[in-house]
Copies of this chain bind each other. A is one copy, B any other.
């Protein structure tokens, strides 16, 4: 394991995550979409399944509740989403994409698709599968830390 100890998982992940996010930022700017990568994650999730609770969104996006709440504040302000009461449980809210939000998602989808294609260029299905395996295992390994 000595060879691996020369490489830090953190820096590899940070680097990749950062440039991925930066590239998404550029893409949105390129198509003149007023949205951040993080907001996109939420809107895209709602596009697939509209009317989710904030807790649903948290879990899907691996984000914490305060962060989700704040992102939704902003997407509501931009009129991309709307908060509605959840029938049967007064604590919960349902979050809906607006027509404006739906339009935006559809506008962005081709460019994001292109980004996805770009990201895996020069890599095989096997590479992808190993990447998934590694990220899953990292998640498991760190989930057990204390």
Instruction: List residues of A whose CB falls within 8 A of some B CB.
Output: 1, 3-5, 7-24, 26-27, 30, 37, 41, 61-63, 113, 115-123, 125, 127-128, 130-135, 137-146
Question: What is the distance, in angstroms, from A143's C-beta to the closest C-beta of chain B?
Answer: 7
Contact between chains at B7 and A128 (CB < 8 Å): yes
Given contacts A22-B142, A23-B142, A146-B26, contact A120 B16 (CB under 8 A): no
Report the bound CA distance from A128 to B134 in whole Å. Answer: 8
Which residues of B sit under 8 angstroms from A141, Cβ to Cβ?
118-122
Which residues of B sit under 8 angstroms from A122, Cβ to Cβ?
137, 140-141
Stoichiometry (number of copies)? 2
Question: What is the distance, in angstroms, from A66's C-beta to the closest C-beta of chain B?
Answer: 14
Report the bound CA distance from A30 to B146 in whole Å. Answer: 8
Given contacts A9-B20, A24-B10, A131-B130, contact A142 B119 (CB under 8 A): yes
